[in-house]
Amino acid sequence: MTVNDIKHPGLVAWINEIKDYCTPDSVYVLDGSAEEYDRLMQKAVKAGIAIPLNPEKKPHSFLFRSDPSDVARVEKRTFIASEKQEDAGPTNNWVDPAELKKTLMGLYKGCMKGRTMYVIVFSMGPVGSEFSKIGVEITDSEYVSCNMDIMTRVGKAVIEELGTNGFFIHCLHSVGKPLAEGENDNGMWPCAPIEKKYIAHFPETREIWSFGSGYGGNALLGKKCLALRIATVMARDEGWLAEHMLILKLTNPEGKSRYVTAAFPSACGKTNLAMLIPTIPGWQVHTLSDDIAWLRYGKDGRLYAMSVEAGFFGVVPGTSMHSNPNAMIAAQKNTIYTNVALTEDKDVWWEGIGYDAPGKLIDWQGNEWVQDKTNKDQKPSSHPNSRFTAPANQCPCISDDWEDPHGVPVSAILFGGRRPSTIPLVHGARTWTHGTFLGSIVGSEITAAALDAGSGIRRDPMAMKPFIGYNAGDYFKHWLNVGKAAKDQSLLPRIFYVNWFRKTAEGKWLWPGYGDNSRVLKWIFEVCDGTAQTVDTPIGIMPTLDAIDRPEGVTEEDMKELLNVDIDGWLREVEDIRKNHYPIFGDKLPKELWAQLDSLEADLKAAKCDCGCGCGCCGK
């Protein structure tokens, strides 16, 4: 397609403005067709940055290797350029928007020379849904174009939906590596040095400007940039929620279904839960989203969640037929792999795939690699943040309503993190405010080698710390306001905190996880139905000892430990939140959350006290 096929004067003017400034050799508008995808991918193959995989093992699939400086989101180079610094808040990097645009304009000048400028008109959410948002990404990357084609709805239908005056989010991207006449990438991943990488968000004007990185969320601007950072601002202004959450459908043996969303920090099993295969006979899980959900009130007063992505951009290491068979099957064809190892027969391999490396490999940096199990210091063949990009409709457990334009009604919201101690297997909030409190204190254990080790816990409120496009204190307040806006409080989703990662003092896992997490989901389903066996505790509602079906190998003593309320551990948790977490947000932290913390501390001390004074003086 060409610019002449676009009937939106504002979009045409913007395209021409960027063309004149970035000086590409040509301009192309994506139509979203299969033929177009193949043509762009072959261009990447010809440039030496894409490798076709074995068509018998991974049909219509390709491998890319990025530059070692361009392998993940770069938080230090990610900015929220709000008009006022206070509006960016303590969890974001702020730069004055005028100053940042001046810097970026200097970098964008002539940056697309020697390349094609691609115009990607895309929809986050089903095309035509009143809840979807349209973005336009201008980029000079075939890798980005092909990934966006999988991850979003792209092309003619979206252009028609945009019409002549529809609103769209402006997304500008360049790899930041112009080519001289006759030059091509010659097998080298195009990007700019780290000090010239910028991922900039302008909340008030709904713009995203990205320069210098060609990888993942830095460059696929529909993902974290639009669907979370800019969308959180739009959600605040319009009264809904944009969240880093999976959506799944849980169906019991009688055929009754409930929808669950869940927000976990990285490396806590979000994709595995989204595609879970239950170990309880008769129960089923179907996937609607593995990463992002937008939640709004429906006409019936319930919160509805909509999946806004059309594909999965999943972390590869550790993914196997044991941990996530549905993801493995989804990525068997029509998939883009990034930074995994290549086998001699042009298949892919990575650490944690479930079998030994089949002979000599080429690692993610293009070097020969032979597995040596005796060498604990051997560098991995695949980058820890290596990825697969696969169409969602290839997932065997994709729900038949995953593209419902109205979304699906949510019964439960889960928060969780990786905590080997203190936090029990599951506990539930008493109210929406209590649930917001639980989400605000989410954390995961980190190693002592981490620069920000502090107490040993990295707090990641609602698993959203890197993705909130405005002041996090105001974000908490917005969560509380959304709860208050419910016409009927009884229709609000129940909120739970889960922890699959409890260990014994000797380091043994207490809970098997994976498919057995369905046993916890079953109890949550029953809570929502009003049929669960529960007990009230200082930290919230919890299962009775026999309320959750125990998996094989989990003893009654294990279950007691998994469901134990560790009073001293929780009091340390309260102290850490009070000293190291909540003060970060200053006077923006809602008073309701301080009150929840005070109430938790009082309940814990009362539970510890035998003499009735409630101060915890005598212990148990």
How many other CB atoms are found less than 10 A from the CB of residue 105? Answer: 11
Q: How far apart are CA 362 and CA 353, in angstroms?
A: 16
- CA-nearest of 387, 466, 538, 485 to 62 is 387
Q: What is the DSSP letter of 53?
A: P
354 touches 329 (CB < 8 A)? no
- Active site positions, annotated: 268
Q: How far apart are CA 266 and CA 259, in angstroms?
A: 22
Q: Burial letters for 566-594: b for 16+ Cβ neighbours within 10 Å, e otherwise?
A: bbebbbebbebbeeebbeebeebbbeebe
Q: How far apart are CA 66 and CA 213, in angstroms?
A: 10
Structure-token pair, residue 586: 């200053």
Please report which residue ranges of 402-467 form alpha helices under DSSP H.
432-440
Q: Burial letters for 306-337: b for 16+ Cβ neighbours within 10 Å, e otherwise?
A: bbbbbbbbbbbbbbeeebbbbbbbbbebbbbb
Q: How far apart are CA 300 and CA 487, in angstroms?
A: 9
Q: What is the CA radius of gyration of the chain?
A: 25
For 206-344, where are the E strands, in sequence order? 207-211, 241-243, 246-251, 257-263, 284-289, 293-297, 303-307, 311-315, 336-338, 341-342
β-strand pairing of 457-459 with 494-498: unpaired
**Half-sphere exposure of residue 236: CA atoms within 13 angstroms, side-chain side:** 19
For 435-447, the DSSP string reads HHHHHHT-EEE--
Q: What is the DSSP letter of 20?
A: H
Classify the C-alpha dihedral 394-396-397-399 as positive or negative: positive
- CA-nearest of 297, 85, 306, 107 to 203 is 85
- CA-nearest of 173, 104, 103 to 135 is 173
SS3 57: coil
Phi, psi of 342 (to 5 degrees): -110, 130
Q: Which residues pair with 29 in a beta bridge?
A: 119
461 touches 73 (CB < 8 A)? no
SS3 241: strand
Please report which residue ranges of 441-531 form alpha helices under DSSP H.
472-484, 518-529
